[in-house]
């Protein structure tokens, strides 16, 4: 089997291949479970120092700056190709005006209805920063009765430089990407379109190459929102792909079992996440056997601001749910639709001629997460300084809203540090400062003792599933 792993970097002025090289080192090169350590190094014939990979040019990237990293065969007989979808160069021309408009929109919100509790304290801090910056600016412009003392003039100059550096290096170069991508204002539309379309084209080329049995999409930070949009757009191209055989002869028991599982949970139960993700894989295998081209088995998000989607991607939680119910934003599990023929709710629509719900049916355009498993790694934040404020659980935000609650089909995993069943820091772990960039850093574990494999790296490797792609 051959599989492709595509990683999307986050916000800021990223360097081509920097994210990919460090990611491959963490999930492939240093994972001794993937290749027998006693096997000779394929380059030297001698003792190996790690799992081997090679960087090759690949025209599917449409960039001379990027390479495909291809691996030796692993213990399961799989070959893996790693790609980076590099999009930083497409987010150009960001100015203070772009950021200013976005910040105003965030600040001028009703805190009781449009600021989620998880980000309320960060919203307050944003207000404090804004007031301090405005205050310093006004103080600097205010006419003075006499010349300021030298030390005060120096202090004022240093403060001005600090504010200028913060605006340039943090707000414009980093959060400017967020400001432009999440707001569909006229100056931003072309950037959003090019970033999404280029990503769609890359994944489409990989699928249509026929070279891969499976694709995994991994996304960090703002890249998780970009990847979510790309997958939603691309699935809408593939959702109606099935063979043209007799619909009544193409039974879909695995898809039917998945819909039954969702219906049962929606009636008042809860989803067994292990069983749900196992059934997602079975439903995709069944669809592929009937001619479906969709081969994205897993979506893995790291430090994802999707956790705050109602704050960033919608006007409120109610607006977020309305967009999900209208199928603008795919949920996991997918939104269901009542079928008057089968008298059941489905994420598919009829393709057969009788009332048997196992007959051939096609998924609607927003049923992406019926066939693609979603795993989200986040670092629990406390007091803004520890953990990752940008990240958080996404299972409820992107779960399926029902009359009895929300069905959560996404696997949220707390890392950096691990949490126990009560939501407390697990024994043997500690909190760390600003962990947003540490999700695949081998030397940034939060264990208090020495760990052969840091917890966050082990969970990342499990989510990517290089050895057990269907498990």
- Which of 119, 131, 122, 444 is CA-nearest to residue 302? 444
Angle made by CA atoms 377, 220, 201, in degrees to the nearest 5:
125
- Which of 79, 390, 46, 370 is CA-nearest to residue 214? 79
The rounded mean pLDDT for the chain is 91
- Which of 391, 366, 413 is CA-nearest to residue 10? 391
Question: What is the C-alpha separation between 59 and 53, in angstroms, rounded?
Answer: 19
Specify the pLDDT at position 416.
97
User: What would the mean pLDDT of 79-105 be, rounded to a whole number?
Assistant: 89
Specify the pLDDT at position 109.
87
Of 92-106, 163-177, 383-397, minimum mean pLDDT range: 163-177
Residue 100 has pLDDT above 90, yes or no: no
119-155 in b/e form (b: 16+ CB < 10 A) is beebbeeeeeeeeeeeeeeeeeeeeeeeeeeeeeeee
Specify the pLDDT at position 145.
63
Residue 168 has pLDDT above 60, yes or no: no
Cβ-in-10-Å burial (0-12, 13-18, 19+) of 450 comes to: exposed
Paired with 425 in beta bridges are: 419
pLDDT band for position 73 (50/70/90)?
very high
Question: What is the C-alpha separation between 21 and 9, in angstroms, rounded?
Answer: 12
Of 202-206, 352-356, 392-396, minimum mean pLDDT range: 352-356
**What are the phi and psi torsion angles at 297 (to 5°)?**
-85, -30
Half-sphere exposure of 316 (CA within 13 A, CB side): 8
Of 46-50, 55-59, 269-273, minimum mean pLDDT range: 269-273
Residue 114 has pLDDT above 60, yes or no: yes
Residue 179 has pLDDT above 90, yes or no: no
pLDDT band for position 115 (50/70/90)?
confident
Specify the pLDDT at position 270.
84
pLDDT band for position 130 (50/70/90)?
confident
Token pair belonging to 230: 């790309």
Q: Which residues, 6 or more positions from 372, have their beta carbon under 8 angstroms from its beta carbon? A: 231, 235, 280, 284, 294, 296, 297, 298, 299
Residue 106 has pLDDT above 70, yes or no: yes
pLDDT band for position 388 (50/70/90)?
very high
pLDDT band for position 157 (50/70/90)?
low
User: What would the mean pLDDT of 422-449 be, rounded to a whole number?
Assistant: 95
C-beta neighbour count of 263 within 10 angstroms: 16
Residue 160 has pLDDT above 70, yes or no: no
Specify the pLDDT at position 139.
66
User: What would the mean pLDDT of 247-258 be, rounded to a whole number?
Assistant: 88
Residue 71 has pLDDT above 70, yes or no: yes
- CB distance 102 to 25 below 8 Å: no
pLDDT band for position 384 (50/70/90)?
confident
Specify the pLDDT at position 153.
61
User: What would the mean pLDDT of 263-285 be, rounded to a whole number?
Assistant: 95
User: What would the mean pLDDT of 224-239 be, rounded to a whole number?
Assistant: 98
- Which of 227, 195, 178 is CA-nearest to residue 390? 178
Question: What is the C-alpha separation between 320 and 311, in angstroms, rounded?
Answer: 9
Question: What is the C-alpha separation between 339 and 318, in angstroms, rounded?
Answer: 26
One DSSP character per residue, 397-451 reads: TTSEEETTEEE--SEEEE-SS-B-TTSSBPTTB---B--TT-TT-TT---BSS--
Map tokens 């986040």 to a residue.
Answer: 378
Q: Which residues, 6 or more positions from 216, have their beta carbon under 8 angstroms from its beta carbon? A: 3, 4, 5, 6, 296, 297, 298, 299, 300, 464, 465
Specify the pLDDT at position 358.
92
Specify the pLDDT at position 397.
97
Token pair belonging to 354: 């009788």
- The DSSP secondary-structure symbol of 6 reads E
pLDDT band for position 172 (50/70/90)?
low
Specify the pLDDT at position 346.
97
Of 39-43, 64-68, 136-140, 301-305, minimum mean pLDDT range: 136-140
pLDDT band for position 147 (50/70/90)?
low
Question: What is the C-alpha separation between 393 and 220, in angstroms, rounded?
Answer: 14
Q: Which residues, 6 or more positions from 10, have their beta carbon under 8 angstroms from its beta carbon? A: 220, 221, 222, 223, 303
Paired with 55 in beta bridges are: 69
Strand spans (E) along 48-140: 53-56, 68-71, 79-85
Token pair belonging to 116: 């989620």
Quote the distance between the C-alpha of residue 399 and its chain's center: 15
pLDDT over 70 for what percent of the chain?
90
Longest dimension (CA), the chain: 91
What is the tens place of the pLDDT at every residue in 5-29? Answer: 999 999 988 999 999 999 999 999 9
Element (H, E) at 375: strand 373-378
Map tokens 């599989």 to a residue.
Answer: 3
Q: Which residues, 6 or more positions from 448, have their beta carbon under 8 angstroms from its beta carbon? A: 428, 429, 430
Token pair belonging to 289: 């056997």
């Amino acid at each position: 089997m051959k599989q492709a792993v595509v990683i999307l970097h986050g916000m800021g002025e990223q360097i081509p291949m920097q994210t990919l090289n460090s990611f491959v080192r963490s999930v492939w090169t240093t994972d001794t479970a993937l290749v027998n350590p006693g096997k000779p190094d394929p380059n030297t014939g001698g003792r190996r120092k790690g799992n081997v990979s090679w960087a090759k040019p690949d025209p599917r990237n449409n960039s001379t700056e990027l390479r495909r990293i291809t691996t030796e065969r692993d213990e399961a007989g799989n070959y893996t190709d790693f790609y980076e979808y590099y999009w930083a160069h497409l987010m150009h021309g960001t100015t203070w005006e772009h950021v200013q408009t976005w910040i105003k929109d965030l600040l001028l919100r009703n805190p009781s209805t449009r600021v989620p509790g998880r980000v309320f304290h960060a919203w307050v801090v944003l207000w404090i920063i804004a007031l301090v910056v405005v205050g310093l600016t006004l103080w600097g412009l205010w006419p003075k009765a006499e010349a300021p003392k030298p030390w005060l003039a120096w202090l004022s100059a240093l403060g001005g430089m600090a504010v200028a550096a913060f605006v340039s290096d943090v707000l414009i170069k980093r959060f400017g990407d967020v400001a432009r991508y999440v707001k569909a204002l006229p100056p931003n539309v072309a950037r959003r379109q090019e970033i999404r379309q280029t990503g769609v084209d890359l994944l489409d080329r990989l699928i249509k190459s026929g070279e891969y049995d499976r694709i995994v999409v991994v996304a960090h930070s703002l890249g998780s929102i970009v990847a979510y949009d790309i997958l939603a757009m691309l699935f809408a191209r593939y959702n109606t792909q099935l063979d043209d055989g007799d619909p009544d002869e193409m039974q879909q028991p695995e898809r039917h079992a998945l819909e039954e599982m969702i219906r049962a949970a929606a009636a008042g139960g809860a989803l067994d996440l292990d069983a749900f993700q196992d059934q997602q894989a079975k439903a995709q295998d069944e669809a592929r056997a009937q001619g479906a081209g969709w081969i994205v088995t897993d979506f893995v998000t790291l430090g994802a601001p999707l956790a705050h989607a109602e704050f960033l991607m919608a006007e409120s939680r109610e607006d977020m749910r309305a967009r999900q119910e209208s199928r603008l934003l795919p949920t996991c599990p997918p939104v269901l639709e009542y079928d008057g023929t089968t008298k059941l709710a489905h994420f598919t629509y009829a393709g057969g001629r009788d009332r048997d719900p196992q007959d051939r049916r096609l998924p609607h355009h927003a049923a992406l997460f019926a066939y693609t498993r979603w795993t989200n790694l986040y670092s629990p934040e406390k007091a803004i300084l520890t953990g990752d404020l940008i990240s958080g659980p996404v299972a409820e935000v992107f779960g399926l809203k029902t009359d009895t609650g929300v069905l959560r089909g996404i696997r949220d995993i707390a890392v950096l540090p691990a949490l126990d069943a009560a939501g407390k820091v697990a024994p043997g772990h500690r909190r760390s400062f600003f962990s947003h960039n540490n999700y695949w850093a081998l030397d940034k574990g939060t264990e208090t003792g020495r760990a052969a494999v840091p917890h966050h790296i082990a969970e990342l490797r499990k989510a990517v599933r290089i050895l057990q792609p269907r498990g």
